[in-house]
Structure 1
Amino acid sequence: MNDEQQYSDEVVETEEADEALETDETVPYEGGRRRKKRGVSGCLAVIVALAVLVGGFYVAVTRGVDWVSDQFSSAEDYPGPGRGSVTFEVEEGDTTAEMGRNLKAKNVVASVQAFLDAAAADPDSAGIQVGFYELKKEMKADDALEVLLDPGNQVKSTVTVPEGMRVEDVVTLLGEETDFGAAKWRKALTQDIGLPDYAGGNPEGYLFPATYEIGPKDKPKDVLTAMVARWRQAADDAGLEEAAAELGKTPAELMVIASLVEAEGRGDDMPKIARVIFNRLDGPGDKAGTNGLLQIDASVNYGLDQELGVALTTEQLQQDTPYNTYTRAGLPPTPIEAPGDDAIAAAADPEPGDWYYYVTVDLATGETKFAETYDEFLTYKDEYTEYCTTSDAC
């Protein structure tokens, strides 16, 4: 073979090998092994990987730009003044951010950030109180914050229970002053409202007289429980249970005495009236002619299921009930009404003295005179009779 022919054959072999590499077939090479072609799939994987990396970089950069934009642009806010009505609750432990999220959820504010910005600009924003507030939808964040900062804007009703009310009177009052009827209040009284064991399940005397706030979510049981809790505060302040042990009474008996003091006295006279009751219960001999009879009209009325201040007839005074303190010595079985702070304190700490009688000689001023003997009592009684001849109060 000449040189030209050899060169031509080599060129042909090289071209054939190149053609084989461009097909799906394997090509032989020296040594008898076969190798597969190099197609486009490997290159495509590299291209796809690069595309994913570039795309991820783009998303990251885009989000970063958006975040930076949010920090340096004004938060979305409604122009106000708003529309409709929304009852919004601030709960115990709520942070400003939580309030903002809850406000946005109710469509009160346009964005959480708008509320946060308003709060950050107001040094009083940390003073928002727990409660319910009447707001509007689509309010300007500054306006919503202003409403929340004023406790006077809280949505609530108040009920004032005065001293000296029986349970039945309290139930009637609550039924009239709230959205719950008297029947629901009576039913709530059968539930656990926190009464002390020595109340024997009877709420008489333990629904403390005070002003109570009733929120939109409060139920009768909640309010009654709050009333008993307020009684507990008054009892603890007076040292009721400790005083009972020192005075030789049970806490339940002191509560009965407190209810009688509430029915009979006022102000500075209450500790003296409490002493009269203790003297009649525990004094020596015939107890200055009283023989242990308390002779308290309000208790008799309670036993007759009539208003406690009603004037009693001779016949009514003779009707024997467990509450008739004219026919039965000692205390009635339960309180007859709800005593307040002063009456409970008086029962727990009666003023020292030897009085067995008292007479209110001026109904307008409440002036009351205390007597150690029956004769002294008759003198004060005559003074009262004289008063009634010149006064329309009797």
Structure 2
Amino acid sequence: MISFKSPRAVFILLLLLSGTLCTASLIPFMGVYIVEVLGKDPWLISIYAMLTLSLTVVVNRIYGEWIDNGRRIAPLILTSILAFGFALSVMLVFETYVVLIIICAPCFALSNAAVSTMYSFGRLSAEQNAWDIARYNSYLRATTSLGWMIAPAVTFLIAGAFGARYVMISALVLTAVWATLWWKVMPSDFVKQSRIKDPSTDVGSLSDNAKAMWTAAGVCLLFSLAHSATTSSLPLFYIREAGLPVYAAGLSFSIKTFIEILAILSTPWLITNLGVRRCLGVAAVVAISAFITLANVQSLSHLVIGASLEGLYYGIFAAVGLLYIQSFAGDRLGRATSLYMNSLYIGGLIASPMMGLVAQFSGFRTVILLSTVWATLALLVLIVSGRNQTRLS
């Protein structure tokens, strides 16, 4: 069990929350910043997003390898904090797209890698303190969702009331909080402890684990592709094709995130009763139902049902997907965690241009219905790979 009488477990979650609030306050706002503040064409948003996501994938992989090789985790998180603060300072001084691409995008990629690094830190802390791993992982994911539920709404509220410049200033204040928590919470010498190797472990079993881990990453990629494409399409689908009021998108997001957090917190019970792989199977089935429901929304009551199903499936996936990949990690927890995060980023990277292309020729409803294909493929991969037993270490 997790003892919250000791402040360590709570402070780790606060460290993650502060980092998530920082990154989540900027990521959704960058499109508005590029178009409205810098006065650039919307297609330049894609250039910035693709560059930042691609660099994030690379940094995640490097950080994961360093963690597995026994590097201290504290300097990695500090680098992310400093990079985020530096990028914000540069944006306050230089309001140009070239500077955003050359200086800020790489810095934001470094800061984005903090989430994966803090997931590894949280999981390793759970192992070293004998906490319930599944339960603490669910707390980590719920904390991330909480940050995403709060930060974008506050960011756009600040932007509407005071202007884009104050978004950067408020994010800098959050960065100072993040840095303070890092100084208070993060042990400077914390590293991944080496495990005693099992003499029976041979090259063949390690190869099997690697294949299983990549298969698990493929499942997460399919979930991410479905989720990203649907999330990008829903606001315009609600307004243009379903004929709902403008506030429908915000209502849907709030309901989805609220149910998502509840679902994440319920996953330890689900894992105990169903196991990790079956939980993902349940998430895939619920996802298919959610996409069909959302694609046929015609009223706010239908929206509530669809958004609730969306939050339910994604909450289960968000908590269990990380455990699923980590269960094949062996002694490569950092690599597994970065692989999980990269599958989410790559899914989003693929989904954006795909969504635009499909919506251009067939509408946003088709994009949502197409997500049922990705969820079905994820379910089929889970069924086919079911012979590999998921192990929670």
**Which structure carries more relative contact order (alpha carbon 8 Å, separation 6+)?**
2
TM-score > 0.5, shorter chain as reference: no
Which has the larger share of strand?
1
More helix by share: 2
Taking structure 2 as the reference length, the TM-score comes to 0.25
The TM-score, its normalising length taken from structure 1, stands at 0.25
